[in-house]
Copies of this chain bind each other. A is one copy, B any other.
């Protein structure tokens, strides 16, 4: 397993970790200063701005883009809304390409308001992913399905298990040695899964791991969405999971993504970045 203290190029920061306190230009410079090699921006920092200027700023800071977050939720009650969701994601994939992002991170969405039909939502996700995969190939951007913790099944992601994401990849793209469709492995979402070891080995074997996200599960968790912990502060054995991921053949970046409304988002971004960089070396 790589010593992340000695591999800044493997260390990336997801800008959500910094709470969107500062403009993206300020964040880019701070991330580079703090000894990271990568950055993963969000659409809220990019859309409506000069995307090529942001891309240039990232390059000139010596950073690479590890991913671009994230998809508009897919499932909808009407064909009109469903198509609008797909179209919004096509535009976002174009921005991902302009940023030089290797992948577009898809949080697929949960149940549309008023629906109890999770199977229907999953069918829409499968159909839309196939369409977006075509668009991504043309744009040179891989599609990264991120299974989310089952606690988000109703409101954010009807895709919960890593095995489910891999099955969906195989269904849509078939087996191939250099796939354009893959998955994000996030320890927060997957740490509890009794099949994690098996499924990570499969994900590596099938070349489907497009990103690895790190944070921690706090006990107690005060807010199920925005109380994620810094690596080392919770109950996830993050190094063990990273070991499995790297043993499976993954050589990409380790991206810190912490939603923490009452702790890290309130701190100065330089302090949060310094802590992330240290914990990548010691507790990830």
Chain A residues close to B by CB (< 8 Å): 111, 115-118, 122, 149-151, 153-155, 158, 160-161, 164, 191-194, 217, 219-221, 224, 235-237
What is the minimal beta-carbon distance from A186 to any residue of chain B, in angstroms?
A: 13
Known: A220-B155, A237-B116, A237-B117. A161 touches B111 (CB 8 A): no
User: Are the C-beta atoms of A154 and B219 separated by less than 8 Å?
Assistant: yes
A133 to chain B, nearest CB (A): 20
Output the nearest chain B residue to A168 by Cβ-Cβ distance. B194
For A221, list chain B residues within 8 Å (CB). Answer: 224
Q: In the complex the two chains form, what is the Cα distance from A153 to B193 in whole Å?
A: 9
B193, A150: Cβ atoms under 8 Å? yes
Given known A149-B150, A150-B151, A154-B217, contact A235–B115 (CB-CB < 8 A): yes
Choose one: B154, B192, B220, B235; the contact of A160 (CB below 8 Å): B192
**A72–chain B nearest beta-carbon distance, Å:** 19
Look across to chain B and name the residue whose beta carbon is closest to the beta carbon of A158. B192
User: How many copies of the shown chain assemble into the complex?
Assistant: 2
If A154-B235, A235-B115, A236-B116 touch, does A194 touch B224 (CB 8 Å cutoff)? no
CB pairs A–B below 8 angstroms (8 shown): A111-B219, A117-B237, A150-B193, A151-B224, A153-B192, A154-B192, A155-B219, A164-B194
**Beta-carbon contact of B150 and A118 below 8 Å:** no
Cα–Cα, bound, A243→B102 (Å): 44
Which residue of chain B lies nearest to A115 when distances are taken between CB atoms in the complex?
A: B235
Taking A154-B217, A154-B219, A164-B194 as known contacts, 16 extra A-B pairs with beta carbons closer than 8 A to each other, sorted by chain A number, are: A111-B219, A117-B237, A118-B237, A149-B150, A149-B151, A150-B150, A150-B151, A150-B192, A150-B193, A151-B224, A154-B192, A154-B235, A155-B219, A155-B220, A160-B193, A221-B224
Shortest beta-carbon distance from A190 to chain B in Å: 9
List residues of chain B with CB within 8 A of the CB of A122. Answer: 194
10 A-B pairs with least C-beta separation: A153-B192, A151-B151, A116-B237, A150-B192, A164-B194, A154-B235, A150-B150, A154-B219, A224-B224, A116-B235
